[in-house]
Each structure stands twice: as C-alpha cells, then as structure tokens.
Amino acid sequence: MRTVEEVVSGVFGVERGSIDESSCPETVDGWDSMGHLNLVLALEENFNVSIDIGDVMEMGNVRKIRQILLEYGVRS
C-alpha cells in the first residue's frame, strides 16, 4: 500500500518530494476537478475503500485526505 503522498504524486505525475501535508489543488499542477476525481479513484483503489461524495468534497489537501481516510479505518 502506498502513502497518500505517493498516490498524489503518482496521479499528477510530479516528483514525490514535492508533495507534503499542505499540498492542494492550488499547488499541484493538474489537480483540477477532473484530476480530483482521478485522485479519489486512485485513493479508493490503493486503500480499498469506497469514499462518500460528501467526504470527497472535503478532501482539500493531503492533511485533510489523511484525516478523512482515518474515519474509514485507514491509517496512512
């Protein structure tokens, strides 16, 4: 299982080192609405969960993603 940072860097094709807790749509190239969908699909696959749409909307940065995944019982 990859970390959230690894999933994010993989989805947007950027260097792993450039992604941190505060990375968000404003700081990552390609993280637009379609990119966000792809990210959610990749997170679901990687952590084997199905994420509620309300939660999807809340996933504004890497830190938030990790918090929400915790609610699904995922420690990342």
Partner 1 sequence: MRQRVDHGLKRDADDAEALRLLYRVLRETGRTVEAHDLLNHLVEVDPSAATATFAHRERSKLGDAPGRPVRIALLSSYVLDPLIPFLDVECRRAGLASTFYVAPFNQYTQEVLDPSSGLYSFGPEIAFVALDLEDLFPAVRGVPSVDELARSRDEIRGTIATLVRELHARCNALIVVHELALTGWSPHGILDNRRGDGLSRWTEDLNRDLAEELSAQVHTFLLPLRQVLGRAGTERGQRRKLHYMARMRHGDAALRELARYSMRYVKPLKGLTRKCVVVDLDGTLWGGVVGEVGPEGIQLGPTAPGAEFVDFQEALLNLTKRGILLAICSKNNTDDVMPVLREHKHMVLREEHFSALRINWRNKAENLAEIAEELNVGLDALVFLDDNPAERALVRQLLPEVLTVELPRDASQLRATLEDLTDFELLALTREDQLRVSQYQANRRRQALERSSGSLDDYLHSLEIRAEIARAAPHHVPRLVQMFNKTNQFNATMRRYQAQELARFVASPDHRVYVLEVADRFGDHGLVGAAIVLEEREAWRVDSFLLSCRVMGLSVETVLLKRIYDAARVRQVPRLVGEFIRTPKNGPTADFYRRHGFRLDGDTDGAQAWILDPRVDRIEDPPWIAVKATGE
Binding site for partner 1 (CB under 8 A): 9-13, 15-16, 30, 33-35, 37-39, 41-42, 50, 53, 56
Nearer to partner 1, 8 or 61 (CB): 8
Nearer to partner 1, 28 or 61 (CB): 28
Contact 63, 47 (CB under 8 A): no
Nearer to partner 1, 26 or 50 (CB): 50
| CA-angle at 40, arms to 55 and 47, nearest 5° | 95
Closest distance to partner 1 from the beta carbon of 53 (Å): 6
Contacts of residue 11, Cβ cutoff 8 Å, sequence gap at least 6: 30, 35, 38, 39, 42
Closest distance to partner 1 from the beta carbon of 48 (Å): 13
